[in-house]
Chains A and B, each alone.
Chain A
Amino acid sequence: MTSTALAAHEVAVSFGGRRVLDGVDLCVAPGETVGLRGPSGSGKSTLARVLALLHAPEAGHVTLDGHRVAGARHRLPAAVRTRVAILFQSPRAATDPRLGLADIIAEPLRATGTPEAQARARAAELADLVGLTPDLLARRPHAVSDGQLQRACLARALVHRPDYLLCDEATAMLDASTQAHLAAVVTDYQRQHAAGVLLITHDPALMARWATRVVDLPSAPRS
């Protein structure tokens, strides 16, 4: 397949002998928001991690614009890895408590060798985009609310201008206003960059409002 998309092909993953994903296909095209639904333990988060190139599947593979990127056990160049970003449910578990918000946002840029002045400027630009006021940027995670920290995580996720953004229950612990704001930021970004979004949520109203297409993941097969 050579179409422009992030796609999982016949992906299988097991944990401790239990098969969580068994030959699953999923495709996210530029500009669309694919909602992924399924009961607890059906492997939604695992599939997101496979698509985010964080977890190599046991069988099957992931393609990015037709090129195989996961399945083979080799290190991925940063230019490929930074095209897909993921946002998790708990920002506290996803951030280094020792870093200030500005550094949390800029870290992926520094990791890929962006000059310091440029990294700072870009971090400030994204902080503004997600609605973080400059006085918050020097604070560390313990001194900000969950909503503020998740805003920083979204800024970090967008810092490399990814083509695909995977949101794994990213707004589940946020109040309605913060959720609506982050969704608006993602939707604007998506429109400007023709990015594809994978949306995992248990909230039917959010799914109906945001997803352009919904895929159901069946319960995990027991084995």
Chain B
Amino acid sequence: MTTTREPAPVPAGTTSVAPAGTAAAPDTTSAPYTATAPDTATAAGSGGPAGTGDGRPGLLEVDGLTVRFQLRDAVVQAVTDLHLTVHPGELLAVVGESGCGKSVLAHALLGLLPGNATVTGQARLRPPTGEKHDLVGSSERHLARAVRGRVVGLVPQSPATALNPVRTGRRLLEETLRAHGRTRREAPAAAERVAADVGLDPADLDRHPHELSGGMAQRLATALALAPDPPLLLADEPTTGLDRPLVDHTLDLLRRRCDAGGAVLLITHDLAAARRIADTVAVMYASRIVERRPTGELFAAPAHPYTAGLLDALPERAFRPVPGHPPMLTDLPPGCAFAPRCDRATDVCRTPPAPFAGAPARVACHHPLTLGAP
């Protein structure tokens, strides 16, 4: 089975399907911008509820999620008015540079933020069977007993620090399975099955975490997240520090999970990873999602200038960094946070672009390059 996502054909009518490396050049894109901008503005301004864009209910619906950290002398705007929906069978990747707020998003969804965080907005989880959960505002007791692990599994960033060092892999798996309702008799066989699913040799299950290579530890951590069969899997930078074959293996595991009907929210700085397995990519910049598009479209014809800049930085494209520096989250400009680095910025960029909600293809920009989807 191949899981590489080819770029989707871009619909006729969008004229700016120049080679992606040149997509930032204003001359190739001014016409489609004029054509699509009013449409974008209307749709973005409508502000419908999240998840209704294509009529299907989402498994995870995040609506206006905002996270602030109070420091001694400043407020960190870590996540701002964020909307996203993940459907069963969908793999959504949130990409962005370090410090843009994407890991805070993951922690907010798990209720694992520190005490100085203020969370507003909504994040609802509607498993196909069983009760609905509010991820924002529920008690720690409810999150710990009914949500974390059970309905939201976490594939951690660093398996070496996430695994209990004094237990073998087998013990960790059996413990997890029993905590989620398997009997003492069922657990051993179930543990081996889960291990086999992620490509872990049963012989390696009797090792302690320090005896496992990085790749084996990552597979064990993934197996632990999958063991309770959670409808939503949250993967926070799951491939950092792994070499390419192990990266691909880990990504393919996540893809298989979606193909079997699960939903995955992948948080990563690795655009190649997102391209390989994601159905939809959301680009995060300075606490906001600035563009959310089907993967093939986004890579073929990015609409937000930041997305275009990020793609241009790839070594297989122009290998040219985005000029300037990301702003401090304690000191964000009132308008578009990318405007100071953007060569398309005008006076109107001093006002915030309309937030977007709901529908699958969106860009939050006053001067988008092109929008591939109708």
Contacts and interface: CB of A to CB of B under 8 A. Distances in A.
B26 to A, nearest CB: 20
Contacts of A203: 244, 272, 315
Contact of A178 (B98, B214, B241, B271): B98
Contacts of B269: 173-176
A177 B319 CA distance: 8
A147 B321 contact: no
A174 to B, nearest CB: 7
Interface in A68-90: 89-90
Interface in B97-128: 97-99
Nearest to A209: B315
B247 interface: yes
A223 interface: no
A99 interface: no
A205 B240 contact: no
A40 interface: yes
Interface in B56-73: none
B315 A205 contact: yes
Given A147-B99, A202-B244, A177 B315 contact: no
A129 to B, nearest CB: 14
B332 interface: no
Contact of A176 (B99, B213, B244, B310): B310
A131 interface: yes
Interface string A169-196: 0001111111111011000000000000
B215 interface: yes
A180 B320 CA distance: 6
Contacts of B243: 39-40, 202
Q: Which of A40, A172, A177, A179 has the most CB of B within 10 A?
A: A177
A180 B268 CA distance: 17
Given A174-B269, A178-B98, A178-B321, A40 B245 contact: yes
Interface residues of B, number: 29
B156 interface: no
Which of B96, B315, B316, B322 lies at the interface centre, i.e. has the most chain A CB atoms within 10 A of its CB?
B315
The A interface, classified by DSSP as helix, strand, loop or mixed, is helix
A181 B314 CA distance: 11
A205 B272 contact: yes
Interface in B170-203: none
Contacts of A181: 313, 321
A176 B314 contact: yes
A180 B313 contact: yes
B302 to A, nearest CB: 12
Interface of B: 96-99, 213-215, 240-241, 243-247, 269, 271-272, 309-311, 313-316, 319-322, 325
Interface of A: 39-41, 89-90, 131, 133, 145-148, 172-181, 183-184, 202-206, 208-210
13 contacts: A39-B243, A41-B213, A89-B241, A145-B98, A148-B99, A173-B240, A175-B96, A175-B97, A175-B313, A176-B271, A180-B313, A180-B315, A184-B319
Given A40-B215, A209-B316, 13 more contacts: A90-B241, A131-B325, A147-B97, A147-B99, A148-B99, A172-B241, A175-B310, A177-B97, A177-B322, A179-B315, A183-B319, A206-B315, A210-B315
